Structures are given as C-alpha cells and as structure tokens.
Amino acid sequence: MSFKGEHPIWSKGAQLQWLEGLSVEDLKSWLRKLVWTQDSHPLVPPSQSISITYFADVIGRGTSALTCKVREVVPSLLQEWGRNDPMQCLDDLLVLSALLRCAAAEATIAIIASERITGTAEEVELKKRCLSVLSGFGCSEHSAPLFYRHLEDINYSAYCFRALYRYKLSYAVATLPTVVAIHKAADKLQALKGVLTLLFFDYLNLRQRIALWRDIIDHTEPMQLEEMLRTLQSLGIVLSVNRHASQEIEVIYDYSVVEPKKAGEKVQIYDFQVTSLAAINRALEAFLTSSNRIAQAVGASP
C-alpha cells in the first residue's frame, strides 16, 4: 500500500518556502493543477478564503525570484486556456495576472479579449475582467486600439475610458462626449457619476482639471458641449452659477398682459431674462430723461 505525496502544509510561511523551492516547470504544473482542478496539494488554503487570491497573497510575499517564475509561467497557462475549458479557470488566471502584475501576459490577454471570447453573458464578464487587468498593467500602444474599439460598448466603456485617459490625458478630451452619450443612452448616469468623479476629483488636481476643461471647451462642438454640460450638471460634476437669485425691482413700464402692474409697484423677479430686460429698460429711462439732446435725436418728446 502506498500513497504518494507530501504532508499538508497550512502555514503561509511554510507554503512560501515550499513554493520558493519549485522549479519553473514544477511551479507551472502546480499552478495548472490549482487553476484547472482546484487542487493545491500539498498546500492547504483556509476554508474561509478564496484560494486564488489567497495564493496570490502568499506568492506576493515571496522573493523576486519566485515572482519572476510566476510571471513567466502565467502567460503560458493563459495560452493553454481554450474555449472548452471552464470560464472560472480563465478568471482565476486573470486575477493572478493582475495581483502579481504578470505584464508579460498583456499580448495574450489582448488576444483572448478580442478573439477568443465573444458575446454570451458569461463571456461578457470575462471580457470585462480582461480589460480591467490590461488597464491595471497600464494602457500601451499595443492595447490602446483594443480599448478604443470597446469604448462605445456600455459593458466596457468605463474601463476603456479610464485606461485611455491614464495613458494620455488628451484621450479624455477626445472621448468624454462619447462616454457621456453612451452612458446617457444606456440610462447609466449613476455609474457615469462615479466614472467622472474618479477622473475629475481623484485622478486630476485642480490645475490639471482646469487645463482639461479648457481643452474640452476648445475642442468640442458647441452643441455637443452644451448637451454634455447639461448632463454633467445633472450629476453634480459641474455646477451652474446661480443666475436666478431673487431680486426685488420697481415696475417702471409694464409689458405684461397677464397681470398688469402699476408704476412704482414692487415685484419679485426670478427670471434672469426678465430681470435683464427690466434693467435695460431702467437704464434706457435714465438715459432718455437725463439727456434731452439725445432724447430728441431718437425722437422722444422733450
């Protein structure tokens, strides 16, 4: 009678030591077993934990040699994943890539996102994960076209927008109207508020924010700009100046046919345009009465 294998290893320190001792090939075999069959033997993850994030944490505490080995192995495991394999395997590999910054997997993940997963609900979730991991590596000249291509899909728009503006802030100027329009059309304004709060109030400082607004105003079509500003105003991202402060004015001329007022009566004016008109009238009155010469010139009675 014989049972192969080692005694279980449950402490993080001992697990790390065991992992450090593996060759690249053995590490690859162990990770493959972990991802494809949930078998981490001889390492034992705690029952309250999620095994992939738990082992990412263990590996992340190791030497740079161990991290390098993992970064070498994970991209090739990603290449092994096929459409007939469980989706959970790919998700685990993507999480591992992100938490251990396996940037060498960038090209493989980009290919998976654009060619190997298509459109079922489960695959949409996986594509989101792909884009979030690629964005975590930092958008590059290789991944920028992928992000740009998915910008107008509401499922991925926020990931793509953030990845692009973190790569080059000028992308924020070019893509903001599209992102606002996409979210508005999909009735995702609350999500848009979060996306824009991250950009304007988390990522940018005051000086950068003002510079960005200047560029947005300069480079956006007026109609589109106004439409966008109205949306952002409704979300509290931009605030309107309070033009409608109530003020009390004296009626001089009454143009109203609905509720005629007597000259000298005090009324509350709430509407900016009416207030402005009243102010102009008042100025004109003052002008006409104080300058007989010009008043005559414009035909007024002396």
| Residues found near another protein in the complex (CB under 8 A) | 1-8, 10-12, 38-39, 41-42, 44-51, 53-54, 57, 60, 94-95, 98-101, 128-129, 131-133, 135-137, 155-163, 166, 188, 190-191, 194-195, 197-198, 202
Nearer to another protein, 6 or 248 (CB): 6
Nearer to another protein, 4 or 262 (CB): 4
Q: How far is the CB of 187 from another protein (least distance, A)?
A: 13
Q: How far is the CB of 230 from another protein (least distance, A)?
A: 22
CA distance 165 to 184: 20
Tokens of 185: 């059309």
At 120, phi and psi to the nearest 5? -70, 160
What's 250's DSSP letter?
E
Q: How far is the CB of 207 from another protein (least distance, A)?
A: 21
Nearer to another protein, 56 or 77 (CB): 56
Q: How far is the CB of 8 from another protein (least distance, A)?
A: 4
Tokens of 218: 């300069």
CA distance 175 to 157: 10
Tokens of 183: 């979210």
Nearer to another protein, 44 or 211 (CB): 44
Q: Are 73 and 28 in contact (CB under 8 A)?
A: yes
Tokens of 120: 């079922």
Place of tokens 């010139």: 297
Tokens of 102: 């396996």
Q: How far is the CB of 261 from another protein (least distance, A)?
A: 49
Q: Angle between the 12-20 and 64-80 helix axes, to the nearest 10 degrees? A: 80
Amino acid at 221: E
Nearer to another protein, 175 or 220 (CB): 175
Q: How far is the CB of 50 from another protein (least distance, A)?
A: 5
Q: Are 272 and 244 in contact (CB under 8 A)?
A: yes
H-helix or E-strand containing 269? strand 266-269
Nearer to another protein, 28 or 129 (CB): 129
Q: How far is the CB of 48 from another protein (least distance, A)?
A: 5
H-helix or E-strand containing 283? helix 272-290
CB atoms within 10 A of CB 112: 21
CA distance 275 to 251: 11
- Give which of 190, 187, 232, 191 is closest to 213, Cα–Cα: 232
Q: How far is the CB of 242 from another protein (least distance, A)?
A: 26
Tokens of 110: 């980009």
Nearer to another protein, 158 or 278 (CB): 158
Nearer to another protein, 126 or 278 (CB): 126
